[in-house]
Structure 1
């Protein structure tokens, strides 16, 4: 078996293990809320928000501030989803694949299940 065939087999085996793992665990989702709970977003790793919840009180922020808040919370939800995906997949993929996940922005993040529940306050 040549090197290309071995690499193709490794890719196929990894794909199979990941597929089986996701079939058992279900899809990976990240979640984040603004510190006051006015905006909550659920996202998949590397994807657009799948659910955006805005409290009635958030409407008092005004359109521009609310839009900015949704973008910030969505980014935090996406980071949370990527970290959850990384932690989940580290059980079934090899170290090289984990490094590749990190390189494309799917960093492991903390083990804390509340990671991403509120985004860190920073400059606005």
Structure 2
């Protein structure tokens, strides 16, 4: 067996382990909220926001400030999701795959989300 075949087998095995891991843990979600809690966002790694919550008090911010805050919080939720994905896959992927993941922007982040809970948790 040559090096390319061994690499293909490692890739396939890693893919199988990742699928099994995600089947056990569920989808990876990132969460973030504004400091005052007026805006909260849930996002998947590299994806658009899946949930945006705006409190009645946030309406007083005005349309432009509220839009800017939603964009800022959504970006933080996306970064959180990327970090969660990276940490989740550390358990099943080989170091080369994790380096590639980091190069794509899926780097580990803090071990807790903006709500103070563990990073691997399903949607609320």
TM over 0.5, yes or no? yes
Q: For structure 1, which runs of at least 5 residues remain unmatched after alignment?
A: 119-124
**Aligned match of 2:3:** 3
- Provide, for residues 69-118 of structure 1, a one-character-per-residue CA deviation record: whole Å limited to 9, x for no partner: 0000000000111111111100000111111111111111122x23x449
Moved over 3 A (4+): none
**Aligned match of 1:122:** none
Tell whether 2:124 aligns with 1:108.
no
**Aligned match of 1:30:** 30
- Provide, for residues 36-79 of structure 1, a one-character-per-residue CA deviation record: whole Å limited to 9, x for no partner: 00000000011110000001111111111111000000000001
Give the paired residue count.
Answer: 116
Tell whether 2:74 aligns with 1:74.
yes
Shift of residue 8 of structure 1? Answer: 1.2
